[in-house]
Amino acid sequence: MKDKMLKLKEMIHEICDINSAIALLGWDQQTYMPRGGAEDRAFQTSTLSHISHIKSTSQELGTLIAELKNSLDGMAPDSDDACLIKVAAREYDKKTKVPAKFVAKFSELTAMAQTVWEEAREKSDFKIFQPYLEKIVAMQKEYASFFPPSAHVYDILLDDFEPGLKTADVKKIFGELRTTQVELIRAVSERKQINDSFMRQDFDEKKQWDFGVHVISAFGFDWSKGRQDKSAHPFTTGFGLGDTRITTRFLPDYLASSLFSSMHECGHALYEQGIDRKLDRTFLGTGASLAVHESQSRLWENIIGRSMDFWIHFYPELKKYFPSQLSGVSLQDFYRGINRVQPSLVRVESDEATYNLHVMLRFEIEIGLMEGTLDVKDLPEIWNVKMKEYLGVSPENDAEGVLQDVHWSYGSIGYFPTYTLGNLVSAQIWECLERDIPGLHENIRNGKFEEILQWLREKLHRHGSKFKPQELVKRVTGSEITPAPYLRYLDGKYKEIYGIV
């Protein structure tokens, strides 16, 4: 038994090392790689993905997993080894259903598509990206065909990002959210709008960078195990638990973009940096799911980073970086300004009250693409119609419309719902933090986050992906994913800000 477990870990270490190399190539592509390297990078990632898939689906690995599964009854169910066997078995079962040639072809396609998406976005021309997205959608349908039929074809893609969750579950949750959030937005729209013009001035990029670094350092970001760079779309990636990297982006005339992007990605990184090092180079050495991961980024970015408690400490420091731009802007005005509710075109720049509507729009489009009721060529028009229907705004061009997100370029259909699910989990966790840390609000007002991070690491981070997301959320909060805490959070916060009785 012991020798077999060591052999399993040895084989998994090798697979994880290859996958980390693929991730490193992807990080470089989105940060420093010259555009001319796109074709070579596509070949490189395709080759490594093919090798990884062959090793992940080898008969030797399958036989070893099957033998170890027979020993599970004699193991503590929550032990690292038992969890690794179960996760390895699940991954093997999924991967053996997908041909290696398909994996290589899809990897090559998406590596090229990312660079093409960047060009299309810069030129605001969806037609440049359209043929690549058509191929991606076709291959995602083919991918789904490798698996036994499910209640909905989208279930198969969703499971890759949120194991165990079904399309019907997401539709139910979104249905509960939509009605309440639309009512809140309607109530806010009847109040006098908040002035946030002070956020839209010229802000020196270096100073934006320095203040963002100051904030995420206070959160607990470990610079000996991570770094921050710039990219067209902020993201977090890691190449092992000792190297987690984040990116941000800058808008010279909008302070909030880089600041809250850095907070958001730092939340992801803190999760990765807090995973038990014993799980490194295994299938357990990453977050439980994208929704759980997103709960961490939204907790730090919004619930903490947009709170009055946070800015009581950090606003005087921010004013030192930008004294002329923030002259005459009170703490209360600043707090209200960064929490202004205003339907907007861009998801990553949207406020908390409208953010989920952006996700629901994308979810509906992805469902249509997978069902075959929507065609890729019609997406710009469909996008604009849905933006008007959901948010009352219409993009003037493709860049601020259908091309604003990078996700489809790397084939991540099924990803978007996890953003909203992460919002829900963040509020569930926040209510637990308020219960368990008596001095929580005072700590934040003093710029102290050690107890928060320690609680998260003990309750959630250290487990990596040992447990399925719903199980982990229940372990941490006492409940599976539910909208109620998030709706309580939104209702309390925004009714106070806008004076709604």
Residue 197 per-residue DSSP state: G
Residue type, 399: A
Q: Residue 426's closest CA among 304, 248, 272, 289? A: 304
Instruction: From the candidates 108, 118, 162, 265, give the one annotated as an active-site residue.
Output: 265
Angstrom distance (rounded) from CA 30 to CA 176: 37
Q: Is 265 a catalytic residue?
A: yes
How is the beta sheet containing 226-230 ordered, strand by strand?
226-230, 244-248, 236-238
Regarding beta strands 226-230 and 236-238, do their DSSP bridges make them parallel or antiparallel, or are they unpaired? unpaired
Question: What's the residue count for the chain?
Answer: 501
CA distance 35 to 438: 52
Neighbour count for residue 381 (Cβ, 10 Å) = 12
Residue type, 306: R
Element (H, E) at 120: helix 100-123
* Helix residue ranges per DSSP H, 165-204: 167-189
H/E stretch holding 385: helix 379-391
| 182, 189 Cβ separation under 8 angstroms | no
3-state secondary structure at position 409: helix
Six token digits for residue 59: 């008969």
The catalytic residues are 265
